[in-house]
A and B are shown apart, each in its own frame.
Chain A
Amino acid sequence: MSTHAHRAAASDHEAHGHHDHHEMSFWEKYVFPLDHKMIGMQYFFTGVAMGVIGALMSYAFRMQMAFPGKAVPLFGLITPEFYNSMVTNHGSIMIFWFAMPVLIAAFGNFLIPLMCGCDDMVFPKINRLSYQIFLLSAIILLVSIFMPGGGFGSAWTSYPPLSSSATYNQTPYGAPMWLLAVALEFVAFLLGGINFITTLMNSRAPGMKMYDIPVVLWMIVIASILFMASVGPLIAGAVMLFFDQTMGTGFFDPARGGDPVLWQHLFWFFGHPEVYVVLLPAMGIVAEVLATFARKKLFGYKTILWTAIATGVLSFVVWAHHQFVAGIDPRMANIFTVTTLLISVPVTEMLFVYIATLYGGSIQLTTPMLFAIAFVAEFLIGGVTGIYLGASGADIYFHDTYFVLAHFHYTFIPIAVIAVFAGVYYWFPKMFGRMMNDFWGKVHFWGTAVPFNGIFLPLFYTGAAGDHRRSFDLLNFPEMNQPALIFARQFATVSLLVMLGFQVIFFINFFYSMFRGRKAGANPWNANTLEWVAPSPPPHGNFAELPNCYRGPYEYSVPGRSSDFWPQNEPAN
């Protein structure tokens, strides 16, 4: 068996003192590590830092939306150029430099070897290279904002000819640097994805069959496959766009035989699967947390797995619902409406399964569990509002309004913020060997979940009333200049300030607990999966003795057993 062979080789390495033949220097341990956990941490801290920057950008433009033309504390007067740059970079950062690194790279790196019971990733050097390229891409993006002409401001979708010509976008450096940063970020995630897939397929603990793999690992790997399969066309598109920007080619220039709509197809062929690339890992995290704190077996493990795969496959044939009114052949809209409505079936099925998992449980409302339940509750709203946009007729009206914006924030914030918090509170004891404070965790939870609705529920309303996106001052439009709409925009902005304020509690709790928190044992939540077998925090090499796997990951409350959990590594007798 290849699994055994690989593991034998791995333990052979260890026998020769591969890991610990000398004390690692600071540089080896923290700056150029090969250990999957440390690379995961690097991704985590870089991703969170980028998320904070992205959140500050949203503060800048939300203040402008609520109080147009007034100086914003920290930022001053928001010019249209700066507004566009903030909107564009906020979107890019939150998806490419926050959601992906944290959800896939940080959790993927940290969890895959630990949960499948091996000592490290299969290709640790590729793993390190992946992070270094990612860091480079983040630096290029941040520098681009301060270049002459300002940061790229043609929206994160970067539609040409606006994005391809400095004459039109007036950001001669911002535009190509943004594109370069995005392309490098893709390279980083391609490298990371190779590692995730190979490690999960080849290095599982002996006895861990396909259906014994924890859902979160499946989700990260399916997401990596989706990413790798969808990103190719966009990389090709990015190269063409880069040539258009810097060398005067005309791939997307109609005057020279190009076609601007071609970019939109390439972008959304990637862009829609990308939604599921970040959704699936979040669903995975939530599955782990729900099962552990409901003390229940996940309802229909195979259903979850196959609906995730079905969602992934379907996600490749829905892209043009972003382009109903973009000038594509109108007949295409009908086909893409069918596929788009179809994808609602596996996604609702997954959510029903999560709700059904709670049935008959013994639910502990710990901080991670609160976040996991909130994920399901909020994502449902994001899901149903998507139907308004996937239905071609209704999308004629809703396209590019704040309704769209509210809809996808109701999917992305549950994914990239709420599910990530669920994961952080859940795995923090494993990461740092200490517990986070539960009381302050709950304060942070309510301070996040309530104002989040306060931001985006009003934006459904303003969007339905016609507020269109990406406009730096809606008061220029008489129909949008009404007291009720102005009040709703201000309400959203104030809610954002409250939500941002409560994140301070999280960071204090996080860093205080890292050094001063209550010591956590190896398995503080009485969970089943293999990462809880390793010491907290796990040393380089993870396990004192590599575990075997005897059963599926969710054998909670099995009848006839005295304890309500049954770790995967515990022999039957």
Chain B
Amino acid sequence: MMESLIHAASSYAGEIDNVILVIAVLSTFWLVLAEGALFYFVFKYRRSKNPKAEYITGETKQQMKWIHWPHNLVLVCDIVILVFAVRSWYHVKQEMPPIDEEVKVVGHQWAWEFVHAGLDGQLGTDDDVATVDELHLVVDRTYKFKLEAADVLHSFSIPAFRFKQDAVPGRQIVGWFKPTKTGQYDVPCSQMCGIGHGIMGGQVYVHTADEYRQWLEKKSAKSAVISVKGVDQIAMNQGGI
């Protein structure tokens, strides 16, 4: 159901979509039943057909069961939904599967800063690659993200991954995702962060391993030059090679 609306491009997208489907089926059933009863009664007991109303207190046991049975069944449906909801929540937010790589995400007014681990695959080393508003990932690789905010609250959200987490200043929040489909997806900020909130959105590029390596090498070549040869070299580069 959800896939017809938006890509499902992470390992847990299908699981979240299933929760949504379960809720959709159960709640639509009750909605149709209740609306059906409502409109049927309005139609059947309209004054022109039924000039004299019945006197029903709704307080005898016999009458109360018409309320109590639906209410018990609603409770059962709630429990079913609860099981699906909590299971998927636990999987997405409380578990940390074995990690292939780390990525750092920082929300600024009004752009996303992404720090990729670079060629050595380790975050926090010299060859890290920082980008603005573009996150590059490899398909089928599990990422642990470290989420920070530089100024105000932001929300790191990738709808195609069915993923969302607020970034809070003063904290580093960790979590994970595993992209399963190559492509380009939105990373909108989903928490009001000021005047530029409506333009704060990056893109995530999910590559094959080869594509990613090419991108990384291109990026690393530039940043390696910068880090090794210093400012003069940058000036030379910018002067046009």
User: Does A190 lie at the interface of the complex (its beta carbon under 8 Å from any beta carbon of B)?
Assistant: no
B residues less than 8 Å from A161 (CB atoms): 151-153, 169
Within 8 A of B (CB), among A543-559: 556-559
Q: Would you give the 0/1 interface string for A381-405, flagging 1 where the beta carbon is closer than 8 Å to chain B?
A: 1001101100111101101110000
Determine how close the nearest CB of chain A comes to the CB of B133; give it in whole angstroms.
Answer: 11
Across the two chains, which residue of chain B brings its CB closest to A369? B42
Contact among B20, B85, B92 for A337, CB-based, below 8 A: B85
Across the two chains, which residue of chain A brings its CB closest to B203? A478
Q: Is the CB of A394 within 8 A of B42?
A: no
Cα–Cα, bound, A22→B219 (Å): 88
Across the two chains, which residue of chain A brings its CB closest to B161? A397
Q: Would you give the 0/1 interface string for B89-100, flagging 1 where the beta carbon is closer than 8 Å to chain A?
A: 110111000000
Contact among A159, A302, A334, A466 for B191, CB-based, below 8 A: A159
User: Does A483 lie at the interface of the complex (its beta carbon under 8 Å from any beta carbon of B)?
Assistant: no
Contact among B5, B186, B188 for A464, CB-based, below 8 A: B5
Q: Is the CB of B23 within 8 A of A358?
A: no
Contact among A154, A298, A373, A387 for B23, CB-based, below 8 A: A387
Q: Name the segment of A31-39, A40-48, A349-357 touching the other chain.
A: A349-357
Contact among B46, B56, B75, B184 for A478, CB-based, below 8 A: B184
- Residue from A259, A297, A302, A396 whose CB has the most chain B CB atoms within 10 Å: A396
Contact among B6, B50, B190 for A400, CB-based, below 8 A: B190
Determine how close the nearest CB of chain A comes to the CB of B56; give it in whole angstroms.
Answer: 6
User: Does A15 lie at the interface of the complex (its beta carbon under 8 Å from any beta carbon of B)?
Assistant: no
Q: Is the CB of B50 within 8 A of A361?
A: yes
Cα–Cα, bound, A464→B15 (Å): 16
The A interface, classified by DSSP as helix, strand, loop or mixed, is helix
Contact among A260, A302, A334, A397 for B153, CB-based, below 8 A: A260
Q: Would you give the 0/1 interface string for B170-197, flagging 1 where the beta carbon is closer than 8 Å to chain A?
A: 1101000000000011101011111111
User: Does A359 lie at the interface of the complex (its beta carbon under 8 Å from any beta carbon of B)?
Assistant: yes
Determine how close the nearest CB of chain B comes to the CB of A192; give it in whole angstroms.
Answer: 31
User: Does A300 lie at the interface of the complex (its beta carbon under 8 Å from any beta carbon of B)?
Assistant: yes
Q: Would you give the 0/1 interface string for A455-470, flagging 1 where the beta carbon is closer than 8 Å to chain B?
A: 0000001001110111
What total of chain A residues lie within 8 Å of the partner, measured CB to CB? 100
Within 8 A of A (CB), among B31-70: 31, 34-35, 37-39, 41-42, 45-47, 50-59, 63-64, 66-67, 70
User: Does B201 lie at the interface of the complex (its beta carbon under 8 Å from any beta carbon of A)?
Assistant: yes
User: Does A133 lie at the interface of the complex (its beta carbon under 8 Å from any beta carbon of B)?
Assistant: no
Q: Is the CB of B198 within 8 A of A254?
A: no
Contact among A168, A341, A352, A558 for B70, CB-based, below 8 A: A352
Q: Is the CB of B153 within 8 A of A162?
A: yes
Q: Is the CB of B89 within 8 A of A473?
A: no
Determine how close the nearest CB of chain A comes to the CB of B106; give it in whole angstroms.
Answer: 14
Q: Is the CB of B196 within 8 A of A80?
A: yes
B residues less than 8 Å from A361 (CB atoms): 41, 45, 50, 53-54
Q: Is the CB of A334 within 8 A of B42?
A: no
Q: Assuming the A-B contacts A161-B153, A296-B54, A341-B78, are A465 and B20 also in contact, with contact meaning beta carbons closer than 8 angstroms in the complex? A: no
User: Does B224 lie at the interface of the complex (its beta carbon under 8 Å from any beta carbon of A)?
Assistant: no
Q: Is the CB of A80 within 8 A of B195?
A: yes
Q: Name the segment of A95-103, A124-132, A324-332 touching the other chain.
A: A324-332
B residues less than 8 Å from A3 (CB atoms): none
Q: Is the CB of B185 within 8 A of A479?
A: yes
A residues less than 8 Å from B223 (CB atoms): none
Determine how close the nearest CB of chain B comes to the CB of A261; give it in whole angstroms.
Answer: 6
Contact among B20, B56, B85, B155 for A359, CB-based, below 8 A: B56
Q: Is the CB of B165 within 8 A of A325?
A: yes
Contact among B41, B57, B94, B155 for A297, CB-based, below 8 A: B57
A residues less than 8 Å from B212 (CB atoms): none
Determine how close the nearest CB of chain B comes to the CB of A396; give it in whole angstroms.
Answer: 5
Contact among A299, A348, A380, A400 for B74, CB-based, below 8 A: A348
Q: Is the CB of A377 within 8 A of B38?
A: yes
Q: Is the CB of A327 within 8 A of B198?
A: no
B residues less than 8 Å from A302 (CB atoms): 59
Cα–Cα, bound, A321→B54 (Å): 42
Cα–Cα, bound, A342→B84 (Å): 15
A residues less than 8 Å from B20 (CB atoms): 388, 394, 397
B residues less than 8 Å from A388 (CB atoms): 20, 23-24, 27
Q: Is the CB of A466 within 8 A of B6?
A: yes
B residues less than 8 Å from A473 (CB atoms): 198-199
User: Does B208 lie at the interface of the complex (its beta carbon under 8 Å from any beta carbon of A)?
Assistant: no
Across the two chains, which residue of chain A brings its CB closest to B31? A384
Q: Assuming the A-B contacts A363-B47, A393-B86, A396-B164, are A254 and B194 also in contact, with contact meaning beta carbons closer than 8 angstroms in the complex? A: no
A residues less than 8 Å from B168 (CB atoms): 254, 260-261, 326-327
Q: Is the CB of B184 within 8 A of A477?
A: no
Across the two chains, which residue of chain B brings its CB closest to A464? B5
- Residue from A330, A337, A397 whose CB has the most chain B CB atoms within 10 Å: A397
Across the two chains, which residue of chain A brings its CB closest to B81? A391
Q: Is the CB of B197 within 8 A of A300?
A: no
Q: Is the CB of B194 within 8 A of A162?
A: yes
A residues less than 8 Å from B23 (CB atoms): 387-388, 391, 394
Cα–Cα, bound, A325→B156 (Å): 10
Q: Is the CB of A362 within 8 A of B165?
A: no
Q: Is the CB of B30 within 8 A of A348?
A: yes
B residues less than 8 Å from A392 (CB atoms): 85-86, 88-89, 93
Q: Would you give the 0/1 interface string for A464-496, flagging 1 where the beta carbon is closer than 8 Å to chain B?
A: 111011111110111110000000000000000
Q: Assuming the A-B contacts A380-B34, A479-B185, are A471 and B56 also in contact, with contact meaning beta carbons closer than 8 angstroms in the complex? A: no
- Residue from B19, B46, B191 whose CB has the most chain A CB atoms within 10 Å: B191
Q: Is the CB of B82 within 8 A of A337?
A: yes
Cα–Cα, bound, A265→B70 (Å): 34
Q: Would you give the 0/1 interface string for A293-325, flagging 1 where the beta carbon is closer than 8 Å to chain B?
A: 011111111110000000000000000000011
Q: Assuming the A-B contacts A159-B191, A362-B47, are A255 and B170 also in contact, with contact meaning beta carbons closer than 8 angstroms in the complex? A: yes
Q: Is the CB of B42 within 8 A of A468?
A: no
B binding-site residues for A, Cβ under 8 Å: 2, 5-7, 15-16, 19-20, 23-24, 27-28, 30-31, 34-35, 37-39, 41-42, 45-47, 50-59, 63-64, 66-67, 70-71, 74-75, 78-79, 81-82, 84-90, 92-94, 109, 151-153, 155, 157, 159-160, 162-171, 173, 184-186, 188, 190-199, 201, 203
22 contacts between A and B (CB under 8 A): A153-B195, A159-B152, A161-B169, A168-B109, A337-B82, A341-B78, A355-B37, A361-B53, A362-B53, A363-B41, A364-B47, A388-B20, A393-B16, A394-B19, A397-B163, A401-B190, A464-B2, A465-B5, A471-B197, A478-B186, A480-B186, A557-B55
Inter-chain pairs besides A161-B153, A362-B53, A401-B190, 8 sampled, C-beta below 8 Å:
A295-B53, A297-B58, A356-B66, A357-B58, A362-B52, A384-B31, A388-B23, A397-B162
